[in-house]
C-alpha cells in the first residue's frame, strides 16, 4: 500500500514537472535534462534503446524505481505528441516512375486508343501494375499545362471568355464552354480526393454570408471559416437571408463544418443574423463540456475587427460577382473550385505566404498545385477501382 502510494506520488510529481515551464531540456531524442526539484542542477534522463529510461538521480540509481524525472520526460513526450499537428504532404507525382510503387523499372506496354489520339501504356516491373503516364489528363485533347493555366486564370478572377482569350496567347485554342467543362470535371475529382483529408482547424470559427448574383438572381453564399488559418471549412447557398428557411441553411452549414473538421468550435463568431443564433443552438450548443461560445458582432460590417471576413469577401467572392452570372442555382462546381483555390492554391499574405490548408497541416507541393492535386486525385481514384 505504502509502495503503491509512493509510486503514485512520483507519477504525480512527474506530471507537474512536465507541465511546468523550463523544467525539462531536450538534448536529443535519447537524452533529456530535468531540473532537480531541490533547486540544484539537472539530472540526466537517458535512454540507450527503446526499452526504457535511466536517470542519474539517487532515487533511480539506488532505489531502482521509476523516478519523477523519468515520469516527467515520458509525460512531456506524450504532451508533445498530442499537440504536434499531423502533416499531410501531397507531392507532385514523378511521371517517369511507377504511379503506385515509385519504381523506375517501367516498360512500355502497348498503346491505348481514344478519340483524341493514342496513349502510351506502361507496366511496372516491380509491382506488375499498369498505368499511363499522362495521369489525370489521359483523355484530354489539351495539355495539363493549358488546363491548369485555365483554372488558375479563372479562379484568380477572370471570366470564362477572358480565360479563353488569354489561353489563345499561349497557343491553346479552346472555347469558354470547354473551359467550363474542365473546371467541372477537375473540381469534382479534387473535391472527392480532398474530402478524405481532415484539415486541422483551430477552435475559433467565423460565419458570414455574402451576396451573390446567380443567373441574375440575388443569392447568399453562407461560409464558415477558421479564424486562425482562414481555412474555408464549409459553404451553403441560399435565397434570402431573412427568409424562413435561413436557419435551415445556417444549420446545414454548421453541420457540414462539424463533419469536415471532426469537431465543434469552442468559439463561434457571427454577425447578428437571427438564423445563426437558431442554428448555433441546434448544432453547437451543449450542456456538457466543451461548451461552444457564441459571439455576435452585431455592428460588424463597419467594424475594424472584421477585416478577416472582409478580405475573404473581397478577394475570394466579391470580385467574382461579374463572372458569376452564368451560374445556375445548383451549380456548385464553381463555388467548390473557389473553395479549393482559396484553401490550397492561393498563398495568403497574412499567413506569410502559406495557404490556409498549409496552416492546417495539408501541404500541396510543386510549382503547379493544380497539377499536383489533379494527379494525386486521379491516382487515388484509379487505385480505388483496382
**One of 18, 33, 55, 214 touching Zn ion (CB under 5 A):** 55
Residue 72 in contact with Zn ion, rule: CB under 5 A: no
Task: State the burial class of residue 286 (Cβ atoms within 10 Å of its Cβ: 0-12, 13-18, 19+).
Answer: exposed
Residue 61 in contact with Zn ion, rule: CB under 5 A: no
List the helix and strand counts (H, then E) for the chain.
12, 14
Nearest distance in Å: CB 124, Zn ion: 3
Question: Which span sits near Zn ion by CB under 5 A: 61-69, 110-118, 311-319, 326-334?
Answer: 61-69
Nearest distance in Å: CB 24, Zn ion: 12
Q: Quick count: other Cβ atoms within 10 Å of Cβ 279? A: 27
**268's grid cell:** 463561434
Whether the Cβ atoms of residue 362 and residue 88 lie closer than 8 Å to each other = yes
Residue 273 in contact with Zn ion, rule: CB under 5 A: no
**One of 35, 66, 69, 241 touching Zn ion (CB under 5 A):** 69
Residue 67 in contact with Zn ion, rule: CB under 5 A: yes
User: In angstroms, how far is the first alpha carbon of the chain from the final one?
Assistant: 60
**C-beta closer to Zn ion: residue 123 or 255:** 123
Query: How far is C-alpha 12 from the geometric centre of its chain's CA atoms?
Result: 37
Residue 101 in contact with Zn ion, rule: CB under 5 A: yes
Whether the Cβ atoms of residue 369 and residue 251 lie closer than 8 Å to each other = no
**C-beta closer to Zn ion: residue 87 or 127:** 127
**C-beta closer to Zn ion: residue 97 or 351:** 97
Closest CA to 370 of 321, 348, 333, 337: 337
Ranges of beta strands (E only) in 172-291 are 204-214, 217-226, 232-238, 267-271
Strands 130-132 and 31-35: unpaired
Residue 140 in contact with Zn ion, rule: CB under 5 A: no
Residue 371 in contact with Zn ion, rule: CB under 5 A: no
Nearest distance in Å: CB 94, Zn ion: 12
For 77-113, the DSSP string reads: HHHHHHHSPP-EEEPPPPTTS-TTT--S-EEEEEEEE
Residue 103 in contact with Zn ion, rule: CB under 5 A: yes
Residue 100 in contact with Zn ion, rule: CB under 5 A: yes
Q: Quick count: other Cβ atoms within 10 Å of Cβ 318? A: 14
Nearest distance in Å: CB 137, Zn ion: 20
Nearest distance in Å: CB 369, Zn ion: 25
Residue 127 in contact with Zn ion, rule: CB under 5 A: yes
Nearest distance in Å: CB 242, Zn ion: 57
**One of 24, 33, 57, 261 touching Zn ion (CB under 5 A):** 57
**C-beta closer to Zn ion: residue 10 or 241:** 10
Q: What share of the chain is helix, strand, coil (3-state, %, to 5)?
A: 45, 20, 35
**343's grid cell:** 484553401
Side-chain half-sphere CA neighbours of 12 within 13 A = 6
Residue 223 in contact with Zn ion, rule: CB under 5 A: no
How many chain residues touch Zn ion (CB under 5 A)?
A: 13
Nearest distance in Å: CB 69, Zn ion: 3
CB contact set of 221 (below 8 Å; sequence gap of 6+): 209, 210, 212, 235, 236, 237, 317, 335
**257's grid cell:** 463544418
Nearest distance in Å: CB 66, Zn ion: 9
**One of 97, 119, 126, 172 touching Zn ion (CB under 5 A):** 126
Nearest distance in Å: CB 56, Zn ion: 7
**C-beta closer to Zn ion: residue 64 or 367:** 64
Nearest distance in Å: CB 126, Zn ion: 5
Question: Cell 435551415 appears where?
Answer: 248
**One of 60, 142, 206, 320 touching Zn ion (CB under 5 A):** 60
Chain residues binding Zn ion by CB under 5 A are 43, 55, 57, 60, 67, 69, 98, 100-101, 103, 124, 126-127
Amino acid at each position: 500500500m505504502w509502495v503503491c502510494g509512493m509510486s503514485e506520488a512520483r507519477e504525480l510529481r512527474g506530471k507537474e514537472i512536465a507541465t511546468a515551464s523550463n523544467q525539462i531540456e531536450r538534448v536529443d531524442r535519447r537524452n533529456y535534462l530535468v531540473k532537480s526539484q531541490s533547486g540544484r542542477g539537472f539530472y540526466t534522463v537517458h535512454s540507450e534503446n527503446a526499452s526504457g529510461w535511466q536517470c542519474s538521480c539517487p532515487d533511480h540509481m539506488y532505489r531502482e524505481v521509476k523516478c519523477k524525472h523519468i515520469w516527467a520526460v515520458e509525460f512531456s513526450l506524450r504532451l508533445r505528441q498530442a499537440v504536434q499537428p499531423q502533416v499531410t504532404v501531397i507531392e507532385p507525382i514523378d511521371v517517369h516512375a511507377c504511379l503506385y510503387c515509385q519504381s523506375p523499372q517501367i516498360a512500355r506496354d502497348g498503346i491505348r486508343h481514344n478519340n483524341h489520339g493514342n496513349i502510351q501504356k506502361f507496366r511496372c516491373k516491380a509491382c506488375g501494375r499498369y498505368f499511363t503516364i499522362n495521369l489525370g489528363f489521359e483523355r484530354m485533347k489539351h495539355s495539363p499545362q493549358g488546363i491548369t493555366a485555365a483554372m488558375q486564370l479563372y479562379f484568380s478572377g477572370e471570366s470564362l471568355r477572358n480565360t479563353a482569350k488569354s489561353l489563345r496567347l499561349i497557343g491553346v485554342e479552346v472555347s469558354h464552354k470547354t473551359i467550363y467543362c474542365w473546371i467541372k470535371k477537375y473540381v469534382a475529382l479534387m473535391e472527392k480526393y480532398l474530402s478524405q483529408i481532415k484539415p486541422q482547424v483551430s477552435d475559433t470559427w467565423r460565419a458570414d454570408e455574402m451576396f451573390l448574383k446567380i443567373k441574375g438572381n440575388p443569392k447568399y453564399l453562407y461560409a464558415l471559416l477558421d479564424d486562425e488559418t482562414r481555412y474555408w471549412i464549409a459553404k451553403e447557398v441560399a435565397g434570402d437571408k431573412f427568409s424562413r428557411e435561413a436557419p435551415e441553411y445556417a444549420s446545414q452549414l454548421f453541420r457540414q463544418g462539424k463533419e469536415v473538421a471532426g469537431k465543434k468550435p469552442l468559439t463561434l463568431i457571427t454577425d447578428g443574423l437571427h438564423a445563426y443564433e437558431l442554428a448555433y443552438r441546434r448544432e453547437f450548443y451543449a450542456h456538457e463540456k466543451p461548451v461552444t461560445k457564441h459571439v455576435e458582432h452585431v455592428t460588424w460590417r463597419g467594424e475594424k475587427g472584421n477585416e478577416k471576413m472582409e478580405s475573404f469577401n473581397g478577394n475570394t467572392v466579391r470580385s467574382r460577382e461579374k463572372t458569376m452570372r452564368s451560374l445556375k442555382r445548383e451549380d456548385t462546381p464553381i463555388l467548390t473550385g473557389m473553395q479549393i483555390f482559396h484553401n490550397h492554391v492561393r498563398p495568403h499574405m497574412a499567413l506569410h505566404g502559406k495557404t490556409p490548408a498549409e496552416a492546417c497541416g495539408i501541404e500541396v507541393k510543386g510549382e503547379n498545385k493544380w497539377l499536383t492535386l489533379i494527379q494525386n486525385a486521379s491516382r487515388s481514384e484509379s487505385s480505388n477501382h483496382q
